[in-house]
A and B are shown apart, each in its own frame.
Chain A
Amino acid sequence: MLETFSTTLAPYYLQIKFVHLLFVAMWFWSTSVAYSYYLVPLFKAWQQAPDQIDRIHLRNWAMERFDDGAILEHIAFPMVLITGTTLMLIGGWNPGFGWFAMKLVLVVLVFVPIEVMDYYLAHFGGNKEAIRQSGAIEAYEPAIRRHWYFLVLSTPVVIVSITYVVYLAITKPF
């Protein structure tokens, strides 16, 4: 069955690669402006003076919008996985290639755990707007702080690992 799948799609390798790259770009960059130029400055401003009510309002607003802003990223990620797996099957790539082994390891051990957490924080139990509307107001501030911790801790990981994986895929250095 896998062979039939690969043979059928093999003529479309480049088209699937195009779709893959498109979604990789969406996944990588779609939240970057909102994060760097809205969320981070507002959180830093709040950290500077947490007792100022207008800063808390803006911080909360930015975080709720950011939860929704992550939708593009979270549509792109499964598409990246689907098209990536398809390319692997029809292109004959396997972990015998060093660059591919490293890429696979980073996807499974870095990207997937981060995205699982990110889906939860932005759209499921950690969604701030849903918490607010549920009336569980005591859960709101911990949810905001938990998400901020997650974003800051994952920032260096995301910057380096995604850049490295794109480099590996393009240059295939080993």
Chain B
Amino acid sequence: MNLDWLAPANEDAKMPFEVPQSFTRKVALGFAAYILFVIYPAYLGLRMLWGTYTFEWQSLLTAVISAVVFGLFAYKTMNDYFRRRPPR
């Protein structure tokens, strides 16, 4: 097979690509924290600014559950993509 027309295969591409699970765990935690401490407060802030905000436990609970479930989903997805697996 003539590979000349393809993009180059450098020597440094042969270095193993390994992403530790501790990294994906930290990223997933960061995502969950971003939902709880950035996205949700920004949403509440906007509602307050427009005078349509009323505190509801249900809203806070939804934010917490969303952050946890999304964190778990992100952790699983990232690990799946970074995992070494033979092509189908």
Contact = CB atoms under 8 A, between A and B. Distances in A.
To the question of whether A and B form a pair in one complex, the answer is yes
B16 interface: yes
Contact of A50 (B15, B31, B47, B82): B15
A165 to B, nearest CB: 12
B73 A160 contact: yes
Sort chain B's interface into a size bin: 35 or more
Nearest to B56: A174
Interface of B: 1, 3, 6-10, 12-17, 27, 31, 38-39, 42-43, 46-47, 49-52, 70, 73-74, 77-78, 81-88
Given A60-B7, A129-B7, 12 more contacts: A40-B81, A41-B88, A45-B87, A46-B17, A47-B84, A50-B15, A50-B16, A54-B3, A57-B7, A96-B47, A97-B52, A141-B13
Interface of A is mostly: helix
Contact of B6 (A50, A61, A153, A157): A61
